[in-house]
Amino acid sequence: MTVLIYVDTSKEVGDPDHLKVFANADGAATWFAENDPEGVAFEYEVLE
């Protein structure tokens, strides 16, 4: 399983809006369309 992670570099580490974690590409695409059309997210494997 993987997740997509977006980092808002304008926010301080620890700020609730510093990171966004998306369960799938559709959720990320919807959020980006509404909030940061030029933003990108990186895919990471979820470790168990």
| d(C-alpha 45, C-alpha 37), whole Å | 24
Go through the chain and tell me how many residues it has: 48
Domain count, the chain: 1
Domain that holds residue 10: 2-45
What's the Rg (C-alpha) of the chain?
11
pTM of the model: 0.84
What are the pLDDT digits (tens) for 1-48?
A: 999 999 999 999 999 999 999 999 999 999 999 999 999 999 999 998
Backbone angles phi, psi at 2, to 5 degrees: -130, 160
